[in-house]
Structure 1
Amino acid sequence: MLAQARRINRLSIMALLSCLACTVRAAEPLDTFSARIGGYVTTFDTEVRADGETQSGTDIDLDRDLGLDDDAVIAYVGLTWRPWDRHEFGLSYHGNGTDETRVLSRDIEFDGNVYEASATVRAEFDVKAYEAYYVWWAASDETWALGPRAGLVWYSVDMKIDLELDAQGEQAGGTVSGRVSADLPAPTIGAAWRWSPAEDWRISADAGYFSAEINDMDADVIFGRAGVEWFPWDRVGFSVDYVISSIKVDAMKTSFDGHLDFVDSGIRLGAVYRF
């Protein structure tokens, strides 16, 4: 009777240890499909120079010179799809627009127009970012995956400066207005990493760089992202990550001839659905 009780105790302990092992087993590092939506607390640090037909424009800091707010909370959406074990595709989108009326503290030249110090101008800046990427998960285990990553962030940028009052305070009547728009592809080549250190948790990181002269643009691009995901439910969870994308480009296009130094960075908070 005593031996039987000891046997039952041993079996009970083994079963308990087995259950505990199942409980602490990390979630899989990769999803077949995921969709996320959330808010992006972003900062756009931007300097632009729009040249005229005969001479170069002024290097303009959008925040310092035009008062355009570079901090915003915007929405973003994203999708990932892994149709095969080692091949993953992703898409995401976010956009931001801002405008401001400002008295200039210095002379600036933009798109062939001269705006004198003490003049009142209305500036508008709008940017939309479309991201696509591909990862080949070359190495993976039960709790981690690592592979090369090729990405592209396509920025659609539009900027306008209207003169409202000249330096003497006279109405300009819309006689002076400059506008530039450009589609700026920002490709990167780098690596992606996923790790599930514990049940319901996942850590991820992506990084990439690219420098090249393509057609009428000479660009340097840097991209980085690091984040944490928590899944209190099997298919639904939450994510927080920090993202930075930097592009420096000299362009000679019909719609934009000049230089753009653009940094898009911030923290994204979102809800995730996966399977």
Structure 2
Amino acid sequence: MRIFSVILATSIGLSSMNAFADPSPALDRFSLSVGGYYVQPTFNIGVNTDYGRAETGDLKRDHATLGRIRSDLLLGDHQGLAFDYYRYSNSFDASIARTATLNGQAVTGDASADARLKIQLAQLAYKWWLGSGNTVFGVGLGAAYYQADLNTTARGSLDGVSGVASYSRSDNAIAPLLEVGVRTALSDTVRLYAEASGVKKNGGSTNGHIYNGNVGIEWFPLKNVGIGADYGITKIQLYRDAARYDANLGVKLVGPTAYVKVRF
């Protein structure tokens, strides 16, 4: 996270030394949005064990509100930085079906698991905005930092043998990021936008991908203060030691974001 702070501070310093013309009315010199991402999570977890592979299948959890922070900074009229951060943390109970092969025979068992899952994601991209009228198209390159923590305790049996197992995993990495988007100003007070981003992590003990997409609207009843809302989806798929398919974590977050936006 420290690298994001350094890049952002450096960019602010550089931008203050430049004389700007007016950018597209769909963009701001600087903006900060703070709000909540109201999602219904769906996730699945798979782990190789000494008895075979354990799979939760797709599990839906109750709706949750995630704190979310976004910020945009223009450097000149057609380039800038975009930052996005949110975190999901929750406990859950799950039923896990397990399958193994012993002495050539397939055996199955059931287990109940108590677990705590935490995921946080931060994205920083350098963006190029194409166009100068009310509608502009953006392309961004940057980096995403993600961290996924999973702690479980399972109780159950396999082929008549009962036991208790604990599992703990924490993975984090910085991966390349690609962003695309379009913004249009319908008037001085109303804007529409659509954005999509993708993160791809290859190599190392953990790899996978993260996809985001959302469409939204902003309204500014005051010149420098407005409100906004969008509807989006986030899909996270991570693999631990993909060569052996040791463990996998899939998370889907779907829902609206509402926020207050300050612009200058």
TM-score of the aligned structures, taking structure 1 as reference length: 0.71
- Per the TM alignment, residue 37 of structure 1 is displaced from its structure 2 partner at its CA by 0.8
Q: Is the 1:239–1:271 contact (alpha carbons within 8 Å) kept by the matching residues of 2?
A: yes
How far apart, in 1, do the equivalents of 2:142 and 2:42 lie?
22
- Per the TM alignment, residue 45 of structure 1 is displaced from its structure 2 partner at its CA by 2.1
Question: What's 1:80 paired with?
Answer: 72
Note closer, same or farther for the CA distance 1:107–1:147 as it changes in structure 2 (3 Å cut). Answer: closer
- Per the TM alignment, residue 268 of structure 1 is displaced from its structure 2 partner at its CA by 0.4
Q: Is the 1:44–1:264 contact (alpha carbons within 8 Å) kept by the matching residues of 2?
A: yes
How far apart, in 2, do the equivalents of 1:182 and 1:132 lie?
19
Q: How many residues align?
A: 229
- Per the TM alignment, residue 200 of structure 1 is displaced from its structure 2 partner at its CA by 0.3
Matching residue within 154, 159, 173 for 2:150? 159
Question: What's 1:3 paired with?
Answer: none
Deviates more, 1:228-237 or 1:90-99: 90-99
Deviates more, 1:32-41 or 1:262-271: 262-271
Q: Is the 2:233–2:253 contact (alpha carbons within 8 Å) kept by the matching residues of 1?
A: yes
Note closer, same or farther for the CA distance 1:82–1:231 as it changes in structure 2 (3 Å cut). Answer: same
Superposition map of 1:38-117 within 5 A: 38-52=35-49, 57-61=53-57, 63=59, 69-101=61-93, 104=95, 106-107=97-98, 116-117=109-110
Deviates more, 1:37-46 or 1:258-267: 258-267
Q: Is the 1:130–1:154 contact (alpha carbons within 8 Å) kept by the matching residues of 2?
A: yes
Counterpart residue type for residue 150 of structure 1:
L
Q: Is the 2:31–2:72 contact (alpha carbons within 8 Å) kept by the matching residues of 1?
A: yes
Q: Is the 1:77–1:92 contact (alpha carbons within 8 Å) kept by the matching residues of 2?
A: yes
Counterpart residue type for residue 179 of structure 1:
S
Q: Higher helix share goes to which structure? A: 1
How far apart, in 2, do the equivalents of 1:214 and 1:84 lie?
36
Question: What's 1:219 paired with?
Answer: 208
Deviates more, 1:157-166 or 1:207-216: 207-216
Identity %: 20
Counterpart residue type for residue 88 of structure 2:
N
Question: What's 1:10 paired with?
Answer: none
Note closer, same or farther for the CA distance 1:77–1:209 as it changes in structure 2 (3 Å cut). Answer: closer
- Alignment partner of 2:151: what SS? strand
Q: Is the 1:41–1:72 contact (alpha carbons within 8 Å) kept by the matching residues of 2?
A: yes
Gaps of 5+ in 2: 1-23, 101-107
Question: What's 1:245 paired with?
Answer: 234
- Per the TM alignment, residue 260 of structure 1 is displaced from its structure 2 partner at its CA by 2.6
Note closer, same or farther for the CA distance 1:151–1:47 as it changes in structure 2 (3 Å cut). Answer: farther
Question: What's 2:5 paired with?
Answer: none
Counterpart residue type for residue 147 of structure 1:
G
How far apart, in 2, do the equivalents of 1:146 and 1:240 lie?
20
CA-atom RMSD in angstroms: 3.1
Q: Higher strand share goes to which structure? A: 2
Question: What's 1:33 paired with?
Answer: 30
TM-score of the aligned structures, taking structure 2 as reference length: 0.73
- Per the TM alignment, residue 214 of structure 1 is displaced from its structure 2 partner at its CA by 3.2
How far apart, in 2, do the equivalents of 1:101 and 1:249 lie?
21
Counterpart residue type for residue 146 of structure 2:
Y
Gaps of 5+ in 1: 1-26, 110-114
Note closer, same or farther for the CA distance 1:209–1:178 as it changes in structure 2 (3 Å cut). Answer: closer
Note closer, same or farther for the CA distance 1:56–1:221 as it changes in structure 2 (3 Å cut). Answer: farther
Question: What's 1:177 paired with?
Answer: 166
Note closer, same or farther for the CA distance 1:108–1:63 as it changes in structure 2 (3 Å cut). Answer: farther
